Chains A and B, each alone.
Chain A
Amino acid sequence: EAQVTQNPRYLITVTGKKLTVTCSQNMNHEYMSWYRQDPGLGLRQIYYSMNVEVTDKGDVPEGYKVSRKEKRNFPLILESPSPNQTSLYFCASSFGQGNPPLHFGNGTRLTVT
């Protein structure tokens, strides 16, 4: 089944403890992206990647890192999480050419205390 898989679905952590949210897609998509969703603010793009080893900042990249060493994986790294990064995170992917639709994962709900 074609899908975007995020792990974990739920994560509670403390301020300053490094964490990684994984994202993997099995559709051979070139484009991958991370979003965070907060009440009243909609979906905001954190980082995106056009292809392997190519990443770029979205609208809210501060406090986040990403890497794209393989085509299928696009992990989101929080080196030193803070409470304002408590949010619902979504990973998405699509083919890089034309205007194909984005495929989203089921989300990761992160709470930083």
Chain B
Amino acid sequence: LAKTTQPISMDSYEGQEVNITCSHNNIATNDYITWYQQFPSQGPRFIIQGYKTKVTNEVASLFIPADRKSSTLSLPRVSLSDTAVYYCLVGDGYSSASKIIFGSGTRLSIRP
């Protein structure tokens, strides 16, 4: 499974766009990139998933360059309720090594 590296923490302000980058230099051909959001004392919640180029849903966008060695989660116009920990996961998930590993995540703090 590819290891991921994310910033430990980030700060921003309401109304701003926030970009969180994840490095995954050893990503394999079959690996997808998945992002989760976690609020205190709650289970992580799926945000977005992609394989290459750009994916957008009602919550976020995910940018993946051609070499796929990194990805960027983009949160448009954040609000205080976006304060949470964000996890980047890489893997095909369901090969023989199905240990889905969460890293330390990025603690995002949004200020008024």
Contact = CB atoms under 8 A, between A and B. Distances in A.
A31 B93 CA distance: 10
**How big is the B interface, by class?**
20 to 34
Given A50-B94, A99-B92, A101-B34, A88 B102 contact: no
Contacts of A81: none
Contacts of B41: 88, 107, 109
B103 interface: yes
A50 B98 contact: yes
Contacts of A103: 46
B94 A104 contact: no
Interface in A73-103: 88, 90, 92, 94, 96-103
B99 A102 contact: no
21 contacts: A31-B98, A42-B102, A43-B44, A43-B87, A48-B99, A50-B94, A58-B99, A88-B41, A90-B43, A96-B94, A98-B93, A98-B94, A99-B32, A101-B36, A102-B100, A104-B43, A104-B45, A105-B43, A107-B41, A107-B42, A107-B43
Contact of B103 (A42, A90, A97, A106): A42
Interface residues of A, number: 30
Nearest to A107: B43
A70 interface: no
